[in-house]
Amino acid sequence: MENKIDHDDIGYNDTPNEHFSEVLDKRISRRNLLRGSVASAISVMMGSSALSACGGGNDDAPVVTKPETPTPSEKLLGFAAVGKSLADSVIVPAGYTATVIYALGDPLTTSSAAYKNDGTDTDFENRAGDHHDGMEFFGLDNSGKPSANGNERGLLAVNHEATTNEKLSSFFIHANGGTNTLPRPAVEVDRETALHGISVVEVRKGASGKWEYVKDSAYNRRVTCLTECDISGPAKGNALMKTKYSPDGSKTRGTLNNCGTGKTPWGSFVTGEENWSGYFTRGAADDAARGNDKSVAALKRYGRSQGAASRHGWETGGSDDKYVRWNNSKLGASTDGTDDYRNEMNGMGYIVEADPYNKTKAMRKRTALGRYAHESAAFGKTVAGQPLAVYMGDDSRNEYIYKFVSSATWSDADANPADMLATGDKYLDSGKLFVAKFAADGSGSWIELSINNAAIAAYATYKFADQADVLVNARLAADAVGATKMDRPEWCSVNPVNGEVYFTLTNNSGRSAPDAANPRSYEDMKGTSTQKGNVNGHILRLKEKDGSASAAFSWDVYLFGAESTANPGMVNLSSLTADQDFSSPDGLAFAKSTGICWIQTDDGAYTDATNCMMLAGVPGQVGDGKKVTLAYAAGNVDTYVGKTPTADTLKRFLVGPVDCELTGIAETPDGKTLFVNIQHPGEGTSQANLADPAKYSSQWPANAGYGAGKRPRSATIAITKNDGGRIGT
């Protein structure tokens, strides 16, 4: 992948807000001051729960439904660990089977032809999209009706984040690789736009007992980055949302660069729009064209300075409005933006909700949850009469962690509603958005992003007009209140055992040099190249002080990613073994069935030793770990890490094919099938080698017997246990 731009690894936060690592360092310094006695130091070394008590957490763990207790013949993580691998195949433990069921280009109607996979295919609006990412399962009963208990038939709602490109063209889907100069031909642009968005596809266990997708299902659906979506919540109709397409600011076209997902307590699907800004261009003199108004600062903060080139050049496909909309410049004469697409980017960057069972209803962009580079959305436990919490991260270098708290309080009657999107209106269109600030003493606070906050109202960099403006430009509001800069927050998930919230922080090449202010900034060799910063990422966890709506929390680091052979005192702080070591955690979700914490990687740092992977963890709790001291030349830095995993609590479960990312975690309610996505196998292939399959870095899944041609394809796999048991046992 060295020849590629990593579209995931970007950063636009140049505010002086603290890094999380700086906080970590301060926290430890203060802790040492607080803990003068030998006895208390020993209690921390022994892994007592002193950490959370010190950090201001309370010991009253939320009462939650515990996952089903394993049956006597079942042992969590009872499988044999999978070794690291560079093979071009999916490797699962002995006793397990992985079956490819749904790949790029697979037809979703009976009228679409089988995928030839040679660049001549058409009709992509009726096929599986590309770069399968986050994914959720929605059950069906035997007659095909929605059923929360469906274990052998259901719908998968799948994100299609992106396409594989070396330069402008998504070369695997064009016969000759496509055009890398501007203008891009309309036929190429149309294919590429159609391959983004989401799909809903029915899957079932076929007559042979193997999972397969259902080509002729009436549920099958595609939403592309041109499908009409509703703007919902506080920003609907706001001046910031008005475009030529929607002069009243109530609609936009499409959902874009969809990465993580979530499932609401009322059973709908939510999807996060991540690196959408890179798809838009701005003219070289657009700042002046806008009269250097405040939109310039907002556009810059979201990654589009004037003159920014778009990722694919879609704006050059022709004069049709569907191409022009990718040019985010002020081109018209109007004062409100209803004659051009100067405001078009304000329609992207949301958590978007769909009713997976009803393809006739447009998806709704939930603007109350803020606009940024969204990953997954994890709901805190529901308690009747209490508000709902939604946890979210912003994945760019040095961005923030957020929480939305609903105005409406939860009613159990809403768990199975007649109208899912109306229920979404109730809980997701009105509430408060908070950003996380991590304190040096191991506590943390949620700061409300409100126009009534003096720091926001008086922010010099950007003059907010109203609360909708605060939400649409949440990054700027979070800057204003001094939120803590994080190492690229990816997925989050809530531990069903104790309600604690886990966030993957994938890596951060932009982390400052190793010194007292930065507990994990180091160098790692990949071949002859030196990688710097937080190279391998870590997994943070939070414990709310008083339930989901709490304004305070405590935190620690569950695991630090590292190579098992890395310096145990400086890098491999979790003492990962060869059966556990990983780099760049990204996908993360707790299985409701078993309570296993599934961890997936999207890595470029350790890929000289292994392809990306998936691990199974059985974590403890905030504060179960120990103090470690990092000895830098400039002086010691202390940090705290969760309890060291054992072979019974962390184990590699799967390794994917070459150049893929592991992502998407969805299980059937009985826990006996786990659906996982293999994203962009063969991504490292050079377009110049398209005519010679022997030079592809991957030929998966064709080499696993799935489908025509040899071009690599993103795909969903179904994992089952040969003895019919639950996955991860």
Contacts with Ca ion, residue ranges (CB under 5 A): 8, 259, 490, 524, 526, 586, 602
* In the complex, minimum distance from the CB of residue 136 to ligand FEO, in angstroms, rounded to a whole number: 16
Element (H, E) at 39: helix 38-45
CB 640 within 8 A of CB 556: yes
Binding partner of residue 161 among ligand FEO, Ca ion, none, CB under 5 to 8 Å per kind?
A: ligand FEO
* In the complex, minimum distance from the CB of residue 11 to ligand FEO, in angstroms, rounded to a whole number: 12
Residues 213, 100: Cα–Cα separation, whole Å: 10
Per the listing, tokens 């729960």 go with: 49
CB 666 within 8 A of CB 546: no
Closer Cβ to ligand FEO, 315 or 586, answer by number: 586
Residues 77, 93: Cα–Cα separation, whole Å: 11
CB 709 within 8 A of CB 701: no
Closer Cβ to ligand FEO, 161 or 556, answer by number: 161
* Residue 274 found at the interface with ligand FEO (CB under 6 A): yes
Minimal CA–CA distance to 222: which of 112, 99, 144, 328? 112
Binding partner of residue 340 among ligand FEO, Ca ion, none, CB under 5 to 8 Å per kind?
A: none
* Residue 490 found at the interface with ligand FEO (CB under 6 A): yes
Exactly one of 230, 340, 375, 659 binds ligand FEO (CB under 6 A); that residue is: 375
List the x/- string, 576-615, binding to ligand FEO by CB under 6 A.
Answer: ----------x-----------------------------
Binding partner of residue 524 among Ca ion, ligand FEO, none, CB under 5 to 8 Å per kind?
A: Ca ion
Taking residue 68's Cβ as centre, other Cβ atoms within 10 Å add up to 14
Distances (CA, A) of 80 to 77, 84, 92, 252, 601: 8, 13, 9, 49, 20
* In the complex, minimum distance from the CB of residue 132 to ligand FEO, in angstroms, rounded to a whole number: 12
List the x/- string, 156-175, binding to ligand FEO by CB under 6 A.
Answer: -----x--------------
Judged by DSSP in three states, 557 sits in: strand
- The tokens describing 442, both together, are 């191991």
Binding partner of residue 136 among ligand FEO, Ca ion, none, CB under 5 to 8 Å per kind?
A: none
Strands 228-232 and 364-366: parallel
- The tokens describing 180, both together, are 């890398």
List the x/- string, 123-162, binding to ligand FEO by CB under 6 A.
Answer: --------------------------------------x-
Query: Which residue type is seen at 640?
Result: Y
DSSP bridge pairs for 107 = 127
Closer Cβ to ligand FEO, 602 or 667, answer by number: 602
| Beta strand ranges found along 423-551 (DSSP E) | 431-438, 443-448, 489-494, 501-505, 522-526, 529-533, 538-544
Per the listing, tokens 């109350």 go with: 368
* In the complex, minimum distance from the CB of residue 418 to ligand FEO, in angstroms, rounded to a whole number: 34
Residue 135 has what DSSP assignment? E
* Residue 683 found at the interface with ligand FEO (CB under 6 A): no
Which residue minimizes CB distance to Ca ion? Answer: 602
Q: What are phi and psi of 593, to 5 degrees?
A: -70, -50
DSSP bridge pairs for 636 = 631
* Residue 395 found at the interface with ligand FEO (CB under 6 A): yes
* In the complex, minimum distance from the CB of residue 279 to Ca ion, in angstroms, rounded to a whole number: 17
- The tokens describing 351, both together, are 């958590």
* In the complex, minimum distance from the CB of residue 141 to ligand FEO, in angstroms, rounded to a whole number: 34
Residues 50, 38: Cα–Cα separation, whole Å: 14
* Residue 259 found at the interface with ligand FEO (CB under 6 A): yes
List the x/- string, 440-479, binding to ligand FEO by CB under 6 A.
Answer: ----------------------------------------
Binding partner of residue 166 among Ca ion, ligand FEO, none, CB under 5 to 8 Å per kind?
A: none
Residues 397, 609: Cα–Cα separation, whole Å: 25
Residues 396, 488: Cα–Cα separation, whole Å: 5
Closer Cβ to ligand FEO, 259 or 472, answer by number: 259
* Residue 202 found at the interface with ligand FEO (CB under 6 A): no
Binding partner of residue 192 among ligand FEO, Ca ion, none, CB under 5 to 8 Å per kind?
A: none
DSSP bridge pairs for 263 = 269
List the x/- string, 75-114, binding to ligand FEO by CB under 6 A.
Answer: ----------------------------------------
CB 425 within 8 A of CB 232: yes
Binding partner of residue 359 among Ca ion, ligand FEO, none, CB under 5 to 8 Å per kind?
A: none
* In the complex, minimum distance from the CB of residue 317 to ligand FEO, in angstroms, rounded to a whole number: 24
* Residue 556 found at the interface with ligand FEO (CB under 6 A): no
How many positions of this chain bind ligand FEO (CB under 6 A)? 8
Contacts of 594 (CB under 8 A, 6+ apart): 67, 68, 70, 76, 671, 726, 727, 728, 729
Residues 214, 17: Cα–Cα separation, whole Å: 50
* In the complex, minimum distance from the CB of residue 396 to ligand FEO, in angstroms, rounded to a whole number: 8
Closer Cβ to ligand FEO, 9 or 287, answer by number: 9
* In the complex, minimum distance from the CB of residue 568 to ligand FEO, in angstroms, rounded to a whole number: 29
Burial class (CB in 10 A: 0-12, 13-18, 19+), 283: middle
Binding partner of residue 9 among Ca ion, ligand FEO, none, CB under 5 to 8 Å per kind?
A: none
Distances (CA, A) of 434 to 93, 134, 453, 472, 490: 41, 24, 12, 14, 17
Binding partner of residue 556 among ligand FEO, Ca ion, none, CB under 5 to 8 Å per kind?
A: none
Residue ranges in contact with ligand FEO by CB under 6 A: 8, 161, 259, 274, 375, 395, 490, 586
